[in-house]
Amino acid sequence: MNEDKDWLFDEDELLESIRRFEDMQKKNLQIFFDVHELEAIITYYLDINNKLASVATDYALKLYPESIAIQLKFAHQLIFTGKPNDSLKLLHYIEKVEGSNYEVNILKGTALNLLGKTSEAKAEFDIAVSLSDENKDEVLYNIGISFEDRGQFLIAIDYFKEAYQLNANNISVLYDLAFSYERAGFLKESAFYYDKYLDEDPFSENVWYNLAIVYSLLEDTERAVQAYDYAIAINEEFSSAYFNKGNLLFNADKYSEAIEVYKEFLKLEPQSAEAYSFIGDCYEKLNETENAIKNLNEALIILPEFAEAWHNLANVYLNNSQFEKALTCIHRALDQDKENTGYLFTLASVYYKMKDFKNALKNFKKITDLDPYDEEAWMCSSEILFENSKIDDAIKTLSQALSLNQESSVLNYRIGSFYMLKGNEHQSFKYLENGLRLNFNERQFFFDFVPEATNNPKIKELLNNYM
């Protein structure tokens, strides 16, 4: 929000003024600066160094205490240093002296915005727009930035769109429109404006990168990969683009392709434990156990307390029936994150495979205590109880789960199947019908334990009612 003045120097003149000012500070010299030079110096420092901006402002106020321009810079600096109330007091004074200067209203709006007074801020900003003339589009754009910085993206969008209508050549507006739409959750609109930006500047790797993220959120993997590829083509050392592309391919189950992209990333960032862990996970998905273990161990050499790598390694050993090794690894993960329900689920699964049902149940209970809505943990607990001939306890567990998850078709189906096994058809049909009403497509959870029930005439009739 540092508006240009018609007196502003060219870059060489500005840099010379900066050099003289810094020499004066370092060598304790006495050097003359006119008010316009000091304005330019303060503006320069406001963008890069708050401390030097404060030094420059204090110096300028000593030389030109009556200068409205310098006082405006001071008000700006107060906002930058988190003192919006002090800035507003100064701005109210300036407004009495120079009431038609839209910069006063811009700064008042910015200060009010920082204080969370959105409607008052908008009123000041709208006054600023009405007072501005030739650079109205810049004023609108800067107002949009103020709301964008506060996370008020929908309000920012209105100002950006108005600025764009006045000046379609300012591609910065396109970028912020796209960014604000993305943050507001309007992903198609975001992609549209990023595309318009790229029509004007097709060699912006950062915009291609942002567009790729938007396409990822839209679950358009092909376009997202293509956008990452453009970003990488423009900047072959764009490590974040490689990493995100690898993640995208991993999530699309394209594990071999993901491995190659992660390897390219590792050429740029060879100490990335996370990349080695993802590669290990890819190899595990491809059933290449040796390579999976090798890469996960590489991750742990780099970062010995990397919980997710320990967890992934535990799963590799679990899937290969190396239960003692799996147990050691998952405990290492839990040492870092004791309440991670994913890690607890793996621990419970290891104990189950080891036929240590007591510890398996104990850890599934920890999960449901932490997350009562975890259907899978409740189901696993009930199945262990059922397998150990404790069907009443299994039903009791599922009843507790249903009291917390009344809209779960899966839980209804499973408790219905257990009642069928107990010979209580009335209760079984009740829960079966609840499950059918909630989600007909998950009915197999009922028949997993009572496959013969498919021949029951009453059940056939129930199914026909929901087909």
- In order, the DSSP letters of 3-40 are ---TT---HHHHHHHHHHHHHHHHHT------HHHHHH
Least confidently predicted of 122-131, 317-326, 357-366: 122-131
User: Mean pLDDT throughout 351-380?
Assistant: 97
Q: Give the per-residue pLDDT at 22.
A: 87
Q: Give the per-residue pLDDT at 9.
A: 55
User: Mean pLDDT throughout 29-37?
Assistant: 86
Structure-block tokens of residue 447 = 């028949």
Structure-block tokens of residue 70 = 């310098």
Cβ burial of 20 (10 Å; 0-12, 13-18, 19+) is middle
* pLDDT tens track for 265-297: 999 999 999 999 999 999 999 999 999 999 999
Helix (H, G, I), strand (E, B) or coil at 337: coil
Task: Provide the CA 99 distance to its chain's centre, in angstroms.
Answer: 43
What type of residue sits at position 281?
Answer: D
Q: How far is it, in rounded angstroms, from Cα 52 to Cα 57?
A: 8
Q: What is the mean pLDDT of the chain?
A: 93
> What is the pLDDT confidence band of residue 99, given thresholds at 50, 70 and 90?
confident
Q: How far is it, in rounded angstroms, from Cα 34 to Cα 8?
A: 12
What are the residues whose beta carbons fall under 8 Å from the beta carbon of 129, sequence distance 6 or more?
Answer: 102, 136, 139, 140, 143
Structure-block tokens of residue 375 = 């259907």
Q: What is the pTM of this model?
A: 0.81
Least confidently predicted of 6-20, 326-340, 378-392, 452-466: 6-20
Q: Give the per-residue pLDDT at 362.
A: 98
Residue with tokens 């161990």: 297
Return the number of other C-beta atoms located less than 10 Å from residue 340's C-beta: 18
Structure-block tokens of residue 260 = 């190659």
Nearest to 427 by CA among 392, 464, 382: 392
Q: How far is it, in rounded angstroms, from Cα 70 to Cα 57?
A: 7
* Straight-line distance from the first to the last Cα atom of the chain, in angstroms, rounded to the nearest whole number: 62
* pLDDT tens track for 138-148: 999 999 998 99
Structure-block tokens of residue 374 = 């975890």
C-alpha distance from residue 291 to each of 180, 247, 371 (Å): 42, 18, 34
Residue with tokens 């406001």: 46
More confident residue, 34 or 306: 306
Query: pLDDT above 90 covers what percent of the chain?
Result: 74
* pLDDT tens track for 300-350: 999 999 999 999 999 999 999 999 999 999 999 999 999 999 999 999 999
More confident residue, 98 or 125: 125
Q: Is pLDDT at 7 greater than 50 in this prediction?
A: no
Q: Give the per-residue pLDDT at 28.
A: 83
Q: Give the per-residue pLDDT at 441.
A: 94
CB 400 within 8 A of CB 385: no
Q: How far is it, in rounded angstroms, from Cα 294 to Cα 68?
A: 67
Q: How far is it, in rounded angstroms, from Cα 279 to Cα 256?
A: 9
> What is the pLDDT confidence band of residue 191, given thresholds at 50, 70 and 90?
very high
Q: Give the per-residue pLDDT at 49.
A: 67
Q: Give the per-residue pLDDT at 2.
A: 42
CB 39 within 8 A of CB 6: no
* pLDDT tens track for 39-60: 888 888 887 766 888 888 888 9
> What is the pLDDT confidence band of residue 242, given thresholds at 50, 70 and 90?
very high
Structure-block tokens of residue 415 = 């408790």
Task: Provide the CA 233 distance to its chain's centre, in angstroms.
Answer: 25
* pLDDT tens track for 412-443: 999 999 999 999 999 999 999 999 999 999 99
Q: Is pLDDT at 8 greater than 60 in this prediction?
A: no
More confident residue, 360 or 56: 360
Contacts by residues 112-115 (CB-CB < 8 Å, ≥ 24 positions apart) = 112/84, 112/88, 113/146, 113/147, 113/150, 113/152, 114/79, 114/82, 114/84, 114/150, 115/84, 115/85
Least confidently predicted of 121-135, 219-233, 388-402: 121-135
Residue with tokens 């100064």: 90
Q: How far is it, in rounded angstroms, from Cα 389 to Cα 392?
A: 9
H or E stretch covering 240: helix 239-251
